[in-house]
Structure 1
């Protein structure tokens, strides 16, 4: 086993200064970029030729500080080399580490970060991240209120999804040797509970499409979602620049989904394109706002004589079930929904199978 050697070096730069840096041999992996590197620039400087005693004293103090940083790096490398606990990492801010990862992830990670920050009252070091703390956070998620609607608890399925994300964070922290053990080995996941996925039948969709809505853009966007399967977040930010002519002379959407951050190209039917209105610049559904998908949407659905508990997300379920019922294979539907795994799409196939069985049982000679 070979320990990395750390040497303090200097490089001449402008204004008669030397820039100080650490030279690692062999190279080490940068924990931020995960790339191998030989050099760490310290961002501190000394005078190449001190002009007086003040500059000479300055150089002496800065070199002592740089040597202190080098000693800390050597200690950290030895701890990692021999699998010892790095005390400096243990004292580091876990919430800062969490937030740095959030910046590279999606909205759900930010939600989990906010809940955890609230749970620990905004203070948490790596040494505080214990099995007991993580188990208490699990219990916290099962009872915590929503961030935006504090009168309601988050659903069990949301708690399960949030805790799964938190466990993914723990895995990263363990991989990067910020925590000494794989805490996930001692944590129980939160099981999802089966929920009824509401959707519109073709007859109900036609009825809704023929029902006047006091907010025209809400109606257009909703029917568009039924014909494309897009989430509300993606419908809201859909831009005319993302709707382009495809090679088969039809049109398609080149989008990056907000939830999964998946870049994809999706075909768009002529009927769905008509709902977008006259091509222009900026957002396609100008004037559409999230508040519309609550009370205004429920009012419109009720006016159509539909008694199901329909939310905007149900239009995504509608797209999936109608596609499968029409004979579209599950792999294609999965791609249209930008699901990462076909197994996620399987539930819609199960819904359609149930409806087929229900239909078959209606014909009986008994």
Structure 2
């Protein structure tokens, strides 16, 4: 069965051009599924049927997996068995009729404009670290990119003169503009801090940690938590919070959904539409609080 995983991963990488995070997620889900098959003494993928898959779904629910996790695993199984069927490695697709549990779509955590302004004002010192932190936070909010994309940026991906970055994901590329505040923070970082942080002149990573190595997700998470605490923001803030806030604030101020979709790198505009729903929710919330007869 290991061979079948390798073939599927190669398909996701070479044909589907899926992102690294998506591929890792698929692989992790499949390895958990194969462990389950071993526990019920199924040794061949050809012997897996619809009943086995339903049993696995029930097993996940019994183990108190979150509905979103169960849903993602089902999506993985459907994609995987569809791949095997099209490759003629199985005669029937046992996952074709699998149904994902209904998930209540929650409005993502969004900061207000004032909260974002307060957060971005926290790294105000003249040390290399604070200048770097200011540039990272400004760029993240200015572009709405994922943290994985932020820490993967190289100096060649940045065009300071024209005010845009080039982001690479799963073999695809998108160009995202940024404004004056991010440009000033980045210029300050490049002129006055980056040289003092990199370990070698050959270092291509745009942002490095204090040891001169490329910034990690965990490293950035600590940076964000530090400044959120300093700003007195009590909400549970994650790196994705700035991405959500970026999109919600654009839509709230009349940005075209398809333009926001392009900047975020969403493959389907329906994913981006949740920010329009958030905008409507905010209008209702303001009305309920402010109208005397609400």
Both structures adopt the same fold (TM-score exceeding 0.5): yes
Q: How far is the alpha carbon of 1:203 from its aligned partner?
A: 0.3
Post-superposition Cα deviations, 1:152-211, rounded to whole Å, max 9, x if no partner, equal: x76431331232022111111122222222213442223333234101111000111122
Deviation at 1:213, TM superposition (A): 8.2
**Structure 2 Cα separation of the partners of residues 242 and 331 of structure 1:** 23
Determine if contact 1:102/1:110 at 8 Å carries over to the other structure. yes
Which residue is 1:250 aligned to? 162
Whether 1:285 and 2:203 are equivalent positions in the alignment is no
For structure 2, the 5+ residue unaligned runs are: 195-202, 210-214
Q: Is the counterpart of residue 116 in structure 1 residue 33 in structure 2?
A: yes
CA distance in 2, matches of 1:255, 1:294: 20
Change beyond 3 A, Cα 1:365–1:157: closer
The normalised TM-score by structure 2 is: 0.77
- Pairwise CA distance, 1:237: 0.7
Aligned partner of 1:339 in structure 2 is 266
Question: Alignment partner for residue 71 of structure 2, among 145, 160, 165?
Answer: 160
What do the CA deviations read for 1:291-348 (whole angstroms, capped 9, x no partner)?
A: 2344553343122111111111111101001111122111111111011111100101
Alignment of 1:200-349 (within 5 A): 200-212=111-123, 216=130, 217-244=132-159, 250-257=162-169, 262-276=172-186, 277-278=189-190, 282-287=204-209, 288-294=215-221, 296-349=223-276
Larger fraction in helix: 2
Change (3 A) 1:356 1:193: closer
* Higher relative contact order structure (alpha carbons within 8 Å, sequence separation ≥ 6): 2
TM-score by length of structure 1 reads 0.63
Matched position secondary structure for 1:127 = helix
Work out which of the two has the higher radius of gyration on C-alpha atoms and give 1 or 2.
Answer: 1
Paired position in structure 2 for 1:52:
none
Q: 1:204 and 1:114 mapped to 2: Cα distance?
A: 41
Whether contact under 8 Å (1:330, 1:346) holds in the other structure is yes
1:174 to 72, 85, 96: 85
Write the distance in 2 (CA, Å) between the matches of 1:257 and 1:301: 28
Residue of 26, 46, 55 corresponding to 1:127: 46
Higher strand share: 1
Residue 8 of structure 2 corresponds to residue 101 of structure 1: yes
What is the CA distance between 1:142 and its match in structure 2? 4.0
CA separation of 1:364/1:190 partners in 2, compared to 1, >3 Å: closer, same or farther? closer
CA contact under 8 A between 1:213 and 1:300: conserved in structure 2? no
Which ranges of structure 1 fall in alignment gaps of 5 or more residues? 1-93, 145-152
